[in-house]
């Protein structure tokens, strides 16, 4: 089991519940088994709720999605602060990322993540001491 801090983006959580993507679901489950120091953010939890109740082929009932969010609170969860919003805006401008992706990057960095797990950014991208990993590519 890896001991580095691993920041998990919304899509990884969503795949845990996506009946229409069994391969990605298995990968997401393996990530949670293999990494001990997982971090989330309030942004990730909010996005998760919206996606799983509205955008999945078979959406979750809101109550089940709420229970899942409550379960995810067992993981350290970074609160998106005004300072992180400003840092996200700056990164968005400087790196030409969407604001939401830039905010994920800044939050992961603020948590000391060595690995950012997401399918929204380029696999292998190195941002300071943090590497982006897209386990769903290929």
Query: Would you say the pTM of this structure is higher than 0.85?
Result: yes
Give residue 118's domain range.
2-77+114-132
Residue at 61 is within a domain: yes
Helix residue ranges, H only, the chain: 10-15, 22-34, 42-54, 62-72, 82-95, 99-110
Does any domain span residue 6? yes
Tens digit of pLDDT at every position of the chain (138 positions) = 678 999 999 999 999 999 999 999 999 999 999 999 999 999 999 999 999 999 999 999 999 999 999 999 999 999 999 999 999 999 999 999 999 999 999 999 999 999 999 999 999 999 999 999 999 997
Neighbours of 22 (CB within 10 A): 10
Domain contains 84: no
**19 located within any domain:** yes
pLDDT, residue 3, reads 83
Q: How many domains does the chain have?
A: 1
Q: CA 122, 128, 134 angle in degrees (round to 5)?
A: 25
Residue at 125 is within a domain: yes
Residue 64 maps to a domain = yes
């Amino acid at each position: 089991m890896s001991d580095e801090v691993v920041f998990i983006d919304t899509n990884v959580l969503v795949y845990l519940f996506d009946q229409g993507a069994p391969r990605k679901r298995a990968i997401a489950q393996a990530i949670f088994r293999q990494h001990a120091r997982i971090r989330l953010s309030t942004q990730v939890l909010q996005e998760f709720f919206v996606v799983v109740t509205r955008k999945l082929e078979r959406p979750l009932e809101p109550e089940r999605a709420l229970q899942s969010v409550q379960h995810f609170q067992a993981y350290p969860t970074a609160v998106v602060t005004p300072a992180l919003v400003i840092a996200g805006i700056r990164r968005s401008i400087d790196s030409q990322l969407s604001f939401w992706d830039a905010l994920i990057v800044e939050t992961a960095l603020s948590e000391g993540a060595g690995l950012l797990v997401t399918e929204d950014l380029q696999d292998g991208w190195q941002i300071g001491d943090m590497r982006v990993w897209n386990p769903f590519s290929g």
